[in-house]
């Protein structure tokens, strides 16, 4: 994380040498009032960075928009004021899904003054109509669109495994996570979306396959031939740093290396288990906030892995389902567009799911989870030092 994010997150006093010191907001206040703690990825931290490192540009700024807002404004030929939706607004760090209002004081905290912001539309509201007569919906974030496209239900944890990974659930309640792993955001249908985001998703599998000089299919076959617990080999997949836990400079780790464990089969299995443990940790994060996580649904490129699907089921102790591979975020956007056009949310059928259950014998899964927690804890400790 850069200086901007650290200052806002940790409640320190900032001094950029040109402005008076600002007393920073503090983690507890962010959680209680915004439902999340900002990192360098959030727009509020980018405003702080701008104020610290590009003061001339910051002084010229008049309004702030995220790319979604700017594209919607462009579709409407920049006529009228920009608009946004609740789901993307809730990821800015200066709009609260709890109060349903902008926090101009936090924009001022970050930038030194406030800016114009887009109007936040309701789920079914129209952003406008193009000169060709095309209705433009409010739009939404990709995770909110995916769960809308799936028709995700309460109790269903949706795990999107692409380059990165997110685990989300629709709910009507607000959650507060003192570990800062779970964000309380807005969804695209008027409710809430609890979200855990990590940096390392399916690319951890492609990296392991590349190290073994195998295709993903070949690595999967090799993984299937290994011991369920990889004979003690443990892979912590922080290959690009990590966002959850917040370790931007962390690196991956491979532990438990013995003559018995250091085989190609166990390396492949450890790669699968490392990603599956990250999924299981995120599911536990959601459950720890009081949410009832009943089932797990996998989407995205990583969901194609048979070994990963079974490992997630075994490590979480829950049924794992996966629908036919489709662009569910695009389907959600289409559903929202139809809602804006007709005034009624479409009652499209949920996709058909294939489902697997945890293995009957999975005592090894508890050992793997404990081993992974210990290895990840060592990485975490080294990063803090």
DSSP letter string, 356-371: E---S--HHHHHHHHH
Which residues are CB-neighbours of 374 under 8 A, at least 6 positions away? none
For the chain (385 residues), the mean pLDDT of every run of 10, in chain order, is 42 34 71 90 94 94 96 95 97 95 96 96 95 95 95 96 95 90 94 95 96 96 97 96 88 96 97 98 96 97 96 98 95 96 93 95 95 91 57
The predicted-structure confidence for 216-273, as pLDDT tens digits, reads as follows 999 999 999 999 999 999 999 999 999 888 888 899 999 999 999 999 999 999 999 9
Q: How far apart are CA 146 and CA 160, in angstroms?
A: 9
Here the tokens at position 166 are 């997110």
pLDDT of amino acid 7: 42
pLDDT of amino acid 382: 64
Q: How far apart are CA 37 and CA 30, in angstroms?
A: 5
Q: 137 - beta bridge partners?
A: 126
Here the tokens at position 356 are 């697997």
- The DSSP bridge pattern shows strands 156-161 and 295-299 to be parallel
Report the half-sphere exposure of 162 (CA within 13 A, side-chain side). Answer: 13
Report the half-sphere exposure of 115 (CA within 13 A, side-chain side). Answer: 24
Catalytic residue among 142, 224, 231, 284: 142
Calculate what percentage of the chain has a pLDDT beyond 90: 85
* Active-site residue, 85 included: no
CA distances from 118 to 87, 91, 109, 145, 245 (A): 13, 14, 19, 20, 31
- pTM of the predicted model, to two decimals? 0.89
Here the tokens at position 228 are 């369920």
Here the tokens at position 25 are 């907001």
SS3 183: strand
Matching residue, tokens 């699968």: 272
Here the tokens at position 84 are 């946004």
The full set of domains in the chain, from first to last, is 3-136 (3.30.420.40), 140-385 (3.30.420.40)
Q: How far apart are CA 192 and CA 175, in angstroms?
A: 9
DSSP code at position 127: E
Q: How far apart are CA 328 and CA 149, in angstroms?
A: 5
pLDDT of amino acid 126: 97
């Amino acid at each position: 994380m850069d200086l901007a994010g650290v200052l806002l997150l940790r409640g320190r006093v900032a001094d950029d040498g040109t402005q008076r010191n600002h007393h920073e907001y503090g983690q507890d206040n962010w959680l209680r009032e915004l439902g999340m703690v900002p990192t360098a990825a959030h727009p509020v931290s980018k405003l702080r960075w701008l104020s610290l490192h590009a003061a001339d540009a910051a002084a010229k700024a008049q309004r702030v928009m995220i790319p979604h807002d700017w594209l919607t404004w462009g579709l409407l030929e920049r006529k009228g004021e920009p608009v946004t939706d609740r789901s993307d607004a809730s990821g800015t760090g200066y709009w609260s899904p709890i109060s349903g209002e902008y926090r101009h004081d936090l924009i001022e905290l970050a930038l030194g003054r406030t800016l114009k912001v887009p109007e936040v539309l309701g789920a079914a509201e129209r952003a406008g109509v193009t000169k060709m007569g095309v209705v433009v919906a409010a739009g939404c974030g990709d995770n909110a669109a995916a769960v809308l496209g799936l028709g995700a239900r309460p109790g269903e944890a949706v795990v999107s495994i692409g380059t990165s990974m997110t685990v989300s659930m629709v709910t009507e309640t607000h959650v507060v996570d003192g570990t800062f792993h779970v964000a309380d955001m807005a969804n695209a249908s008027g409710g809430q979306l609890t979200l855990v985001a990590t940096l390392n998703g399916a690319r951890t599998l492609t990296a392991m396959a590349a190290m073994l000089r195998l295709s993903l299919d070949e690595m999967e076959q090799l993984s299937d031939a290994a011991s369920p617990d990889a004979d003690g080999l443990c892979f912590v997949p922080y290959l690009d740093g990590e966002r959850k836990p917040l370790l931007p400079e962390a690196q991956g780790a491979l532990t438990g290396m013995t003559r018995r464990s250091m085989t190609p089969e166990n390396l492949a299995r450890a790669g699968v288990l490392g990603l599956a443990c990250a999924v299981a940790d995120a599911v536990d994060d959601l459950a720890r906030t009081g949410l009832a996580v009943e089932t797990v649904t996998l989407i995205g490129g990583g969901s194609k892995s048979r070994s990963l699907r079974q490992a997630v089921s075994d490590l979480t102790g829950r049924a794992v389902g996966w629908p036919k591979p489709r662009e569910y975020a695009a389907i959600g956007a289409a559903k929202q567009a139809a809602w804006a056009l007709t005034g009624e949310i479409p009652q499209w059928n949920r996709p058909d799911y294939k489902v697997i259950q945890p293995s009957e014998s999975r005592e090894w899964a508890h050992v793997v989870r404990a081993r992974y927690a210990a290895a990840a804890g060592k990485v975490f400790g080294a990063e803090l030092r």
